[in-house]
Structure 1
Amino acid sequence: MIKKNAFRAILVVFTLVLVSCSNNDKFKIEKGKVGPLTQKTTMLELDNIFKNDSIVKNLSEGALGDNYFQDDDEYLIYEKGGKHLLTIMPKEQLDSTSTIKSIEIHDARFKTTSDIHLGSTFAEINLVNKPRVETTLSSVTLFLDDINATIAIDKEELGLKNLSPQKVTLEQIPDLAKMKSFVVWFN
């Protein structure tokens, strides 16, 4: 009887460890991988990968449309309950066999192996990544080469006015500055 109970206890612990590890992979960000998505994932596969979630497809008119300045296709992934998880952009518009160009992260549960996530501060990002910086009119973009990602920080977080042409260096970014967007690129 004791052996059966010990075996059951070991089986339960093993199952819990297995489930928790697979759940961590669901939200893991690596170079060329975001959760279950890889560089080889096609738009056609999204319905199966996110079968328990909701997908909103904002498709462009492509070359057939009248609007030359229209947006690209977007696949917005929502968890049941309405939480926005990801926005996926394909490489080719109106092509279900296209692979992924980029994924914008909208949920802080998605994390890198160094624990960088949507809620991370600049100090946390800078400590483990040593990003390159580029300034735009309204934000500062940090390039994380080790995972091929970009992070935007609003200039207001830096105490600067939007639409300012002022260049910003890493040293000028406050440690507590929060990111505005987190995009992983698949190219």
Structure 2
Amino acid sequence: MSLLKNCFIVLISLIFIQCGKKNEFLIEKGNVGSLNRQTTILDLRTIFKTDSIASNSPEENESSEDKIFSLDKEEYVIFSKEGKKLLEIVPSNQNDSLSKIRSIQIFDSNYFTEKGISLKSTFKDINENYMIDKVETTLTSATLFIDELNATISIDKKELGLNTFSREEVTIDQIPDIAKIKYFTIWFN
């Protein structure tokens, strides 16, 4: 009976370990891996303790007259211990360590949605798995809005066969199935 009990405990432990590893890179509405809507900038040091965090945030002890310029957007970039860029995090409030997260841009293809969408996905993958609620065109890309994830996914105009700096509007029908993702951003607001 003791052997059966030990096997059961080992099996349950393995299940919890696997679930933890799977969720480490899972993208959902309001969640990116261990990050969620309640995560503060201060929490980043704990969550990414084995990784490296770079910030363009001014030092806390700098006075406003010592600053050469003000930031348009404060951001925190997470690098793996191998030096690979993983995420770029923008807080809701600048220069506030208790600020919640406004957005997270994904740079690592290990992050994926429940339906398997990652930076390696194509437009066809996105279109087959999520409803594209809106398409906005910028000078260099077409941005897909996916309300189900509260995400924006940008596709470079080069992938669409269009002039990079054109003002030409892009519709869903114009995007080829094989077009690749340029940027993948999750919004927490």
Q: Establish whether TM, by shorter chain, passes 0.5.
A: yes
Taking the aligned partners of 2:77 and 2:94, their CA distance within structure 1 comes to 15
Residues matched between the structures, number? 184
CA deviation digits over 1:65-100, x for unaligned, max 9? 4435x4411111112212221111111111111111
Which residue number in structure 1 is paired with residue 44 of structure 2? 46
CA distance in 2, matches of 1:94, 1:107: 26
State the one-letter code of the partner of 1:100. Answer: I
TM-score norm. by structure 2 comes to 0.90
Match of residue 116 from structure 1? 117
- Check whether the contact 1:60–1:71 (CA below 8 A) recurs between aligned residues: no
Letter of the structure 1 residue corresponding to residue 102 of structure 2: K
Q: CA RMSD in A?
A: 1.9
Q: Alpha-carbon deviation of 1:162? A: 0.7
- Write the mapping of 1:1-187 to structure 2, written as runs, cut at 5 A: 3-60=1-58, 64=64, 65-67=67-69, 70-131=71-132, 132-187=134-189
CA distance in 2, matches of 1:142, 1:17: 36
Q: Return 143-152 or 53-62, whichever deviates more.
A: 53-62
The CA distance in 2 between the partners of 1:178 and 1:75, in whole Å, is 25
Q: How far off is 1:63 after superposition?
A: 10
Structure 1 residue identity aligned to 2:155: I
Instruction: Give the aligned residue type for 1:125.
Output: I
Taking only the aligned residue pairs, the percentage that are identical comes to 47
Distance 2:3 2:52 in 1: 41
**3-state secondary structure, aligned to 1:160:** coil
Contact 1:60 1:93 in 2 (8 A): no
| Structure 1 gaps, min length 5 | none
State the alpha-carbon separation in 2 of the partners of residues 80 and 20 from structure 1.
22
